[in-house]
Chains A and B, each alone.
Chain A
């Protein structure tokens, strides 16, 4: 318990440094806030264009899609405040031999590698995302809202854990291959999550739900908040999170054990 508190306090320090950076680079924050707001607008225009031609996308109405887009913003904001920076830094840390310096710190190496810095430039995504979700929920008036919100929070945590584990698994390749940038692949896959998963059929649906579990990470929590709670997918999401996290941690530690220094 004391070690958890220790790591939480350390993480709070990282966040504090992140906010100090934020104040230093105010223009940077303004630009990224505008970029995310604009991207959100583009996505809304895109789906509005689709809904001009149909009333439903794979059984989702426009307000459910609004909740999905809001949820994606929230996911992005939380990811940036926690482990997203890991995927930008890992390649150069290993290539330049900086890993050795991190290995000698009296901390869990996965923790050190997972939070190299805190990206506070996406902080406003938390607000815009939440506002969109609230708007969608108000329009939909789902039954058992309190229960849905509780299930949604559990699913949000398991989704972040699944995404984190996927990043760690992808990052494992960086130990083997020099100059490998995984962030563009990650963003491409995350882009899929903005589309209601049931718009895909057959093998594509299966792959996106269970192999690259982007549907489990995005559609299931958004649908839950919209009032469509599915206990099977809820359970699957939690199990996936636990299994993937265990697997990714084992692989990460295995790679660190087999790492041979290359630095100066």
Chain B
């Protein structure tokens, strides 16, 4: 375990060294959510029906969505690049798991965003602002759900990245997954405001459980029975994705050829 803790320590050091880039990347993620929020707020003010949401709950929704997205989003580009350039061989010959190596390397960034989100939320609660259905217990459940969502989305990014064993560039596939998940994850619009066919479709894909479900938990919009059910669905998705990761990794490594120094 200590070797993985060292990876976390190194990624913290890297993050602090290139802190300006971290801030820019975080702001980039925030811009879209702020704009979508302002868009819906202005529509609501001009008389458009946004039920079951109110302007206040929409503010919370997009704030939580920005935080959740920043935590569960992973880039597959680095994995693809390491495979393409042959750097993956350096990790394969070491007594560490490539999957866990990548997972722990992302923890520094995620923990800073989560810490910032918790401090911001605590400050709001201290000032008397909190979502109508929010309870202290929701925050604990949220952390568990967020961990599961993060693992599931990491697996998806890992699968896309390891397609680099067969393809030169996986940026197109990464964008395809991102675009495909945009509407059915609640990142663009809260699911309740979507046409029912898209809402129904989202139940058969993992993205609803990865993005929208954690936000629902924090907003207190979901009953405990549904929380358990959604956690089970998310767990099933993790098992399926893990199985796919294992198959792709085994087949991919078998066909890996590294030439050079």
Contacts and interface: CB of A to CB of B under 8 A. Distances in A.
Interface of A: 25, 27-28, 31-32, 34-35, 38-39, 42, 45-46, 48-50, 52-54, 57-58, 121, 177-182, 184-185, 187-189, 191-192, 195, 199-201, 204
Contacts of A32: 172, 175
11 contacts: A27-B167, A28-B172, A31-B172, A39-B179, A48-B195, A53-B43, A53-B49, A53-B193, A179-B18, A180-B24, A184-B28
A42 B173 CA distance: 16
B256 interface: no
Nearest to B173: A31
A71 B27 CA distance: 26
A233 B173 CA distance: 39
Nearest to A53: B48
B42 A177 contact: no
A185 B32 CA distance: 10
A42 B27 contact: no
B21 interface: yes
Given A54-B48, A188-B32, A38 B172 contact: no
Contact of A46 (B20, B172, B175, B188): B188
A96 to B, nearest CB: 14
Given A42-B182, A46-B183, A199-B39, A182 B24 contact: yes
Nearest to A39: B179
Contacts of B43: 50, 53-54, 57, 199
Given A199-B39, A201-B42, 5 more contacts: A49-B194, A54-B43, A185-B28, A191-B32, A195-B35
A2 to B, nearest CB: 39
Given A181-B25, A199-B43, A49 B193 contact: yes
B22 to A, nearest CB: 10
Interface of B: 18, 20-21, 24-25, 27-29, 31-32, 35, 38-39, 42-43, 45-50, 167-169, 172-173, 175-176, 179-180, 182-183, 188-189, 193-195, 198
B252 to A, nearest CB: 17
B31 A185 contact: yes
A31 B72 CA distance: 25
A38 B48 contact: no
A179 B28 contact: no
B25 A200 contact: no
A39 B181 CA distance: 10
A191 B29 CA distance: 11
A35 B179 CA distance: 8
Given A177-B21, A200-B39, A204-B38, A42 B175 contact: no
Given A35-B179, A42-B183, A178-B18, A185 B39 contact: no
B176 A35 contact: yes
